[in-house]
Amino acid sequence: MTSVNTIDATTTQTTAQTTSSTSTTAATQSTGASLGKDDFLKLLITQMRYQDPLSPMDNSDMIAQMAQFSSLEQTQNVATNVKELTSTVEKAITSMTQFGGASLIGKEVTATLDALDSSGNAITDANGQTSTVEVSGAVSGYKVVDGKTVLVVNGQNVALERVTEVSQTEVSQTENSLGEV
């Protein structure tokens, strides 16, 4: 009988510790904090440490928990890789856009811009539609403003996304005789 009482006392202590651990986990989840892989591993070790020796954790339960841990770790790695990839793609797009502006210097472009009144406000028609005006000229330079490429056409700033047509400018007679295009 004494051994039965000892087992019951151990089981009661284990149950109390598991309940305490479960309560802590529930409290952590209810406050909005997420459990990471370190927390998951600590919980698994605690569960194994305090399990009842007469009825240990089932192998399939252990494998399921390890699979969950592995899945959590892989998901976190994927999230990190996606963040790094997104950053790299954003940098590449910025570089390509800037290179695109430089490649247009000396070319003839046509762009559609919003028509502005003398105060710099957009002109709208009776339906509330913004009136537009077409601007054409040779690109004399470019700059980057707030991460966007802006071309300089006839002394006017033109956003690259407003360009509707690009053509080669007329080659002067001197350039042609030198064999340059």
Q: Give the start-to-end residue ranges of the domains of the chain.
A: 2-74, 98-177
What b/e string do you get for 93-127 counting C-beta neighbours within 10 Å, with b at 16 or more? eeeebbeebeebeeebbbbebeeeeeeeeeeeeee
Report DSSP letters for 105-136, one per residue.
TTSEEEEEEE-B-TTSPBPB-TTSPBPEEEEE
Reported as a single tens digit per residue, the pLDDT across 153-165 is 988 888 888 898 8
> Contact, 152 vs 142, CB < 8 A?
yes
CATH no., domain 98-177: 2.30.30
pTM for this model (two decimals):
0.43
Most confident of 47-51, 107-111, 175-179: 107-111
Reported as a single tens digit per residue, the pLDDT across 63-98 is 887 788 888 888 889 999 999 999 999 888 877 777
Record the tokens describing residue 35, joined without a space: 């459990």
